[in-house]
Amino acid sequence: MTLALAAGAACACSSTPASTQGGHPREMVVPEAGALAQRLRLPFDAYNFSPAEVMTLDVAEDLLVRDCMRALGRSWQALPGPAESESAPPHRRRYGVIEPRIADVFGYHPPPDRPAVMARKTTALARIRESPLNVREDAERCLGQARTRMSAGAPKADAAFFNKAIFAAFDASQRDEKVAQVFRTWSTCMAGEGFQYPDPLEAVTDKRWSTASPSAQEIRAAQADVRCKERTGLVSVWAEAEVRIQNLAIRAHPKKFQALRAVKSRQLEAAHRIIASP
């Protein structure tokens, strides 16, 4: 089984600490990720699975399930995998909303998946729902076998430790002196735009945005948020602090991180072999 994922990358949903819950206008076309979101990289990325890598694992597992089901005399149509460009960057919303085009359409609401990713999820869900119970049970057993095969040969890794380290680094970064200063500068900028928040996390988690779709006020707040992040350089300052803190954690626990990297490498290598095989 793949490692537990806690940082925004790790699954096709948005799971970074800065993410919000709620609905979004599904009929809207989701813009491609902006340049800043695509550039964001953190040291822990070498040990975690990005959304694109999670999709690679899913595609390989589905092919193994197809073969297993066929061996049982079951019909199981494997689903095509979307292009990597359809997957969201791992840190798209780690520091709140950072893309003007996303703020313009979704405000603080998480954007839905890109069309190809959404279509695959919808088809996969329908495939399960439309299958008889005994077929679903066989598919679940085949999936367990697939995950065991893809993890074979890899050392044991401490996923719980890794998830704690991810959140600990994120929390510690907010207490960094430079980050605290840029939060204050950002807050002053937001006040000038008519919005009172001490930091970006307070803005993105404002209970007023817990609605099925973004209000005009939410859109304006998110647009101001992005502008103030750009004016203050908040994202780069915050990311630099988190890079430093994550590197300290890696140096403090070399064996744990080596095991995490080995598991990731083993699973991705296995996935690529499975996908490439006829």
pLDDT reading at 12 higher than 90: no
- Condensed to tens digits (0 to 9), the pLDDT of residues 80-106 reads 877 766 888 999 999 999 999 999 999
Q: Identify whether the C-beta of residue 42 lies closer than 8 Å to the C-beta of residue 126.
A: no
**243-270 pLDDT, tens per residue?**
999 999 999 999 999 999 999 999 999 9
Q: pLDDT-based confidence at 31, cuts 50/70/90? A: confident
State the pLDDT at residue 20: 38
Give residue-wise pLDDT tens across range 208-248.
999 999 999 999 999 999 999 999 999 999 999 999 999 99
The pair of three-digit structure tokens given for residue 72, joined into one six-digit string:
């049982």
Residue 15 has pLDDT above 90, yes or no: no
In a domain? residue 16? no
Residue-wise pLDDT for 77-87, tens only, equals: 899 877 766 88
Report if residue 8 sits inside a domain: no
**Pure H helices in 72-199:** 100-106, 115-129, 133-151, 159-174, 177-192
- Say how far apart CA 229 and CA 224 lie, in whole Å: 9
Confidence of residue 4 (pLDDT cuts 50, 70, 90): very low
What is the pLDDT at residue 14? Answer: 34
- Distance CA(71)–CA(210), nearest Å, equals 47
- Write down the pLDDT at residue 277: 87
* Within a domain: 23: no
Q: What pLDDT is attached to residue 28?
A: 59
pLDDT in tens, 98-153: 999 999 999 999 998 888 888 888 999 999 899 999 999 999 999 999 999 988 88
In a domain, 6, yes or no: no
Q: Confirm whether 171 is domain-assigned.
A: yes
SS3 content of the chain, % helix, strand, coil (to 5): 60, 0, 40
Domain count, the chain: 1
Structural domain contains residue 227: yes
Identify whether 19 is part of a domain.
no
If you average pLDDT over every residue of the chain, what do you get?
Answer: 88
Number of H helices, E strands in the chain: 11, 0
**186-206 per-position pLDDT tens digit:** 999 999 999 999 999 999 999
Could you list the residue range(s) of the whole structural domain that residue 81 is in? 35-276
Q: Model pTM greater than 0.95?
A: no
- Examine residue 27 and state whether it is found in any structural domain, yes or no: no
Q: Compute the distance between CA of residue 174 and CA of residue 238 in angstroms, rounded to an integer.
A: 8
